[in-house]
């Protein structure tokens, strides 16, 4: 996974490291703006297991560990989710306690310099949708636009590194010329700025995207910021401070030369989100306005929470959501018609698998409790299922028939699965009236 001379970037792309050496307990990394240092495997593992690369990193060792942990995570995802690079895949499982704030967007509390800060953050769905939307929009751009955007992003990454170094070289504060306000920290997506007499020691966040948008529109004075579209309200409110940083970026860019070689065209990719046990959550509460966003693809819908004063969400055309559920689960009733209209429902029936991995004899015996025409069904899966005499007339076999996953052989003793999984659920079916009492003797002889 880790190879000498490999270039490693931080999650924000601001810091760039190079692997110098690897031994039994640590990785040695070099970076232009600091001396070469090492990070122990134990720390990398801790950062990887606990996804710490987005947390506040107060020392160089933590930054190196975070960069390596993030690199490993990204490469593992490419191997698992993106084998042919034509799609991205995420898998999540719903449960009754799942909420909108867990799935879409919510407020989280973070400790920063012994002060609690409340932030609105995108959760799995909104974050995944944002990545899909970025890919979709990039796929619509020509190579000239892509080259320009890519060049600006790389330049701004270098600029944020420059600002970070300046802050460190000035004892943790880079004074903005002509003001008493200073930049105190570089975060993943913003500069943190404050003043000595400010009420909050944490300060405010000056988002990179605001500065980049101002640069693209070639704003030259603070009044121009106040008249802009596409920037945050804070940028307009604190236009003087933003203008100072924008001037620094103009000065940083004056000797930069645009690349002559154009980047490759971006291909549109499919982003696939699989929600297992989708019916176990309270779907109207979990999905919220996404019920409409799924229908009006590519259009903005309003969220209950705002990020950077923007409370809209977009589900792009290249994001696909697949929900799986067991129809024998009583919670299927939670899926109301508004949600049903936005999903295509496909029945997937049990099937016979290869003999070497499948307990066919037991599967046939159990299936006889639900259908009469098992052999006919195996020969032609399209035939209509004939309910067994042991199945209550109130149920359809396709809704309660035990699936083939119960009968797949594993490394463990299959008799244990039969004893502790298959037989108990069949007895529960009898108890709940799904199977008639006539099924009990058959179940007891399995």
Sign of CA dihedral 396, 397, 402, 404: negative
**pLDDT above 80 (res 85):** no
pLDDT digits (tens, 9 = 90+) for 131-169: 999 999 999 999 899 999 989 988 998 999 999 999 999
Q: Give me the pLDDT at residue 33, please.
A: 55
* Every domain of the chain and the residues it spans: 1-81, 142-253, 355-444
**pLDDT above 70 (res 86):** no
**Stronger pLDDT, 214 or 46, i.e. the higher one:** 214
**Stronger pLDDT, 82 or 45, i.e. the higher one:** 45
**pLDDT above 80 (res 431):** yes
Q: Give me the pLDDT at residue 197, please.
A: 84
Q: Give me the pLDDT at residue 129, please.
A: 92
Across residues 42-55, what is the average pLDDT? 75
> How large a percentage of the chain has pLDDT more than 70?
89
CA 190 to chain centroid, in Å, comes to 21
pLDDT digits (tens, 9 = 90+) for 308-328: 778 888 999 999 999 888 766
CA distance 432 to 446: 20
Across residues 46-72, what is the average pLDDT? 75
Q: Give me the pLDDT at residue 80, please.
A: 42
Across residues 40-51, what is the average pLDDT? 77
CA distance 302 to 293: 9
Across residues 425-439, what is the average pLDDT? 93
pLDDT digits (tens, 9 = 90+) for 3-29: 666 778 776 666 778 787 776 677 888
Q: Give me the pLDDT at residue 366, please.
A: 92
**pLDDT above 70 (res 55):** no
Q: Give me the pLDDT at residue 84, please.
A: 46
CA distance 267 to 96: 38
CA distance 388 to 435: 9
């Amino acid at each position: 996974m880790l190879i000498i001379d490999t270039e490693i970037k931080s999650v924000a792309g601001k810091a760039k490291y190079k692997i110098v050496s690897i031994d039994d307990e640590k990785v040695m990394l070099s970076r232009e703006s600091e001396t070469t240092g090492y990070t122990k495997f134990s720390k990398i593992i801790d950062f990887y297991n606990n996804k710490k690369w987005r947390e506040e990193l107060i020392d160089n060792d933590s930054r190196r560990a975070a960069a390596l942990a993030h690199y490993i995570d990204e490469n593992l995802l490419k191997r698992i989710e993106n084998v042919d690079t034509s799609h991205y895949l995420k898998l999540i499982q719903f449960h009754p306690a799942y909420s909108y704030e867990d799935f879409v967007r919510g407020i989280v509390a973070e400790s920063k310099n012994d002060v609690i800060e409340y932030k609105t953050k995108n959760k799995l769905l909104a974050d995944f949708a944002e990545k899909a939307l970025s890919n979709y929009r990039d796929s619509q751009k020509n190579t000239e636009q892509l080259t320009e955007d890519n060049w600006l992003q790389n330049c701004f990454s270098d600029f944020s590194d420059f600002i970070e170094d300046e802050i460190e070289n000035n004892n943790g504060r880079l004074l903005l010329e002509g003001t008493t306000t200073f930049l105190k920290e570089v975060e993943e997506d913003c500069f943190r700025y404050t003043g000595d007499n400010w009420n909050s020691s944490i300060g405010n966040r000056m988002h990179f995207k605001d500065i980049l948008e101002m640069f693209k529109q070639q704003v030259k004075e603070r009044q121009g910021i106040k008249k802009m579209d596409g920037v945050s309200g804070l940028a307009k409110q604190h236009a003087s401070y933003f203008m100072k940083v924008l001037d620094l970026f103009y000065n940083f860019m004056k000797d930069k030369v645009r690349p002559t070689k154009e980047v490759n065209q971006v291909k549109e990719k499919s982003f696939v989100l699989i929600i297992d046990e989708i019916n176990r959550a309270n779907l109207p509460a979990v999905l919220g306005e996404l019920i409409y966003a799924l229908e009006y693809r590519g259009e903005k819908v309003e969220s209950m929470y705002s990020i950077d004063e923007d409370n809209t969400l977009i589900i792009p055309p290249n994001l696909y959501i697949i929900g799986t559920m067991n129809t024998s689960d009583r919670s299927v009733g939670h899926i109301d018609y508004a949600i049903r209209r936005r999903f295509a429902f496909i029945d997937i029936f049990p099937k016979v698998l290869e003999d070497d991995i499948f307990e066919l004899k037991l599967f046939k015996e159990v299936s006889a409790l639900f259908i009469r025409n098992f052999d006919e069904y195996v020969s032609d899966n399209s035939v209509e299922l004939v309910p067994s005499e042991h199945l209550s007339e109130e149920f359809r076999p396709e809704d309660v028939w035990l699936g083939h996953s119960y009968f797949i052989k594993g490394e463990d003793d299959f008799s244990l699965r039969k004893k502790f999984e298959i037989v108990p659920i069949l007895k529960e079916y009898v108890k709940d009236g799904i199977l008639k009492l006539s099924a009990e003797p058959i179940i007891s002889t399995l």
